Amino acid sequence: MHNKTILIASCCTLLFATLASAERPRISEDRELKEIDLTGWDCLDRPAGTGKTPDAIERNRQKNRPAADLVGAHVEAMDTAAFLRSVADFDAQTKGKHRKDLSPAQRAELDQREKKLVALTGYLVLAYAGPPESTNCASTDFHDWHLEVFAQPADHPPRVGDPTPIICEITPRTQSAIYRVGIRLQSLAAFFRAPDLTYEPTGHAARKIRLTGNLLWDDEHNGAADIGVAIQSVGANKYHHPWRTTAWEIHPVAKIEVFDSIVPGPPESVLATPASTAQPTRALPSATPAEQFVTLTRPVTIKIPYGETVLPPGMRLPVVARSGETITVQYLGKPQTIPLDSTEPR
């Protein structure tokens, strides 16, 4: 009887572990953007990924577009409210629908909308590595980055009653270019979702940013469980529901600009030139030449106005000065002195 009880208990433990594992997909350990080499990636020449249905194949091809060429491009500049207004009519007509469900008129409208380039301004409250998905041939290492953009900053991770965000995504095909110009998610987001789905504060407030890229309708997430104006629950797997305001995204993101404030102007102004021509009133200092950067080889704890934060390995920082066993780098517009042996020239 005793052995039977032990057997039953063991089976229950294994069952619960299996269920917990099933609820939680494998997530990359990445905590920051980095330079990635795509040449050996078996999904590079498969823009449809491993999509099986016509909807998934079409959606994946849209997500896997190369970074948009912004030189001389026509880009619509919007804040979060203007973005949502611009898609409100389409959302109302297509609530709960997928690509296969669209009428010919809706299909034609979708095709035109997904050709647009958009520059969205908002606050990056939360960032995290996306799970394996068919877009990237179910790879854990070659993943999208999910950026949750809000109209206002928040001093806490998403919780019940909070508004839902607009989702923007960096893809493996656009990540390296964004990384090379010095963009670091840990320095922009207020919170980071770790691989175990817990929230990690970055130690600073959400930064106001502008993301430029392709407009995309992610109809896979167009149901009531995903779409809503406010968070109603947080699941056992720590995902909040609903988790987005609209199925429309900027995906892929081609460019990110960081601002303390943006020049006031019409929220729906149309730019005839790249988004970068609209100048911020006060921008973060521009990066120094590549030979004056260093890359962290191990975690480094630094003091910031909001307490402390840990700079992760792989982070690339501009050099201000060198002195003996230390080096002064620039982080969030402030000089920070760190051990020389925690870096390598890059």
Task: Say how many C-beta atoms besides its own lie within 10 A of residue 20's C-beta.
Answer: 11
Given a contact cutoff of 8 angstroms between Cβ atoms, the answer to whether 62 and 248 are in contact is: no
> 10 — phi, psi (to 5°)?
-65, -40
CATH label of the domain that carries residue 312 = 2.30.30.40
Domain presence at residue 15: no
Task: Give the SS3 label for residue 137.
Answer: coil
Domain boundary among 262, 283, 304: 283
Residues 167 and 241 in one domain: yes
- 304 pLDDT exceeds 70? no
Mean pLDDT of 161-167: 96
Same structural domain for residues 93 and 214? Answer: yes
Of the pLDDT bands very low, low, confident and very high (cuts 50, 70, 90), residue 293 is: confident
Q: What pTM value is reported for the model?
A: 0.71
Whole-angstrom Cα Rg for the chain: 22
167 belongs to a structural domain: yes
For residues 282 and 73, the model is more confident at 73
**Tokens encoding 101:** 């469900």
200 and 324 assigned to the same domain = no
pLDDT greater than 50 at residue 254: yes
Residue type, 137: C
How far apart are alpha carbons 105 and 110 in whole angstroms?
9
Report the DSSP beta bridge partners of residue 69. none
Q: Which of residues 283, 298, 328 is at a domain's end?
A: 283
Q: pLDDT at residue 57 above 90? A: yes
Cα 307 to Cα 27: distance, rounded to the nearest angstrom: 28
* Residue 4 counted as domain residue: no
Total residues belonging to the chain: 346
172 and 65 belong to one structural domain: yes
Q: Is the dihedral of CA 154, 158, 161, 166 positive or negative?
A: positive
**169 and 294 both lie in a single domain:** no
211 in a structural domain = yes
Residues 79 and 135 in one domain: yes
Question: What is the rounded average pLDDT for all residues in the chain?
Answer: 83
Residue 274 has pLDDT above 50, yes or no: no
Q: How far is CA 61 from the centre of its chain?
A: 19
Q: Does a structural domain hold residue 9? A: no
Is there a single domain that holds both residue 328 and residue 240? no
CA 15 to chain centre: 34
Count of domains in the chain?
Answer: 2
- Is residue 83 a contact partner of residue 167, using CB atoms and an 8 Å limit? no
Asked if 129 and 195 sit in the same domain, the reply is yes
* 60 and 167 fall within a common domain: yes
Domain of residue 301 covers 290-345
State how far the Cα of 103 lies from the Cα of 270, in Å rounded to an integer: 29
Q: Are residues 273 and 328 in the same domain?
A: no
Q: What is the pLDDT of residue 33?
A: 96
> How many other β-carbons are positioned within 10 Å of the β-carbon of residue 324?
6
Asked which of 72-86, 172-186, 329-343 is least confident by mean pLDDT, the reply is 329-343
From CA 168, how far away is CA 257, in angstroms rounded?
14
In a domain, 142, yes or no: yes
Look at residue 249 and tell me if it is in a domain: yes
Q: 244 and 307: one domain?
A: no
Q: Which of 59-68, 103-112, 315-324 has the lowest mean pLDDT?
A: 315-324
Same domain for 85 and 192: yes
Poorest-pLDDT segment among 147-156, 172-181, 222-231, 300-309? 300-309
According to the model, what pLDDT value does residue 272 have? 32
The rounded distance, in Å, linking the Cα atoms of 61 and 52 is 12
Last residue of a domain, one of 263, 283, 303: 283
Report if residue 11 sits inside a domain.
no
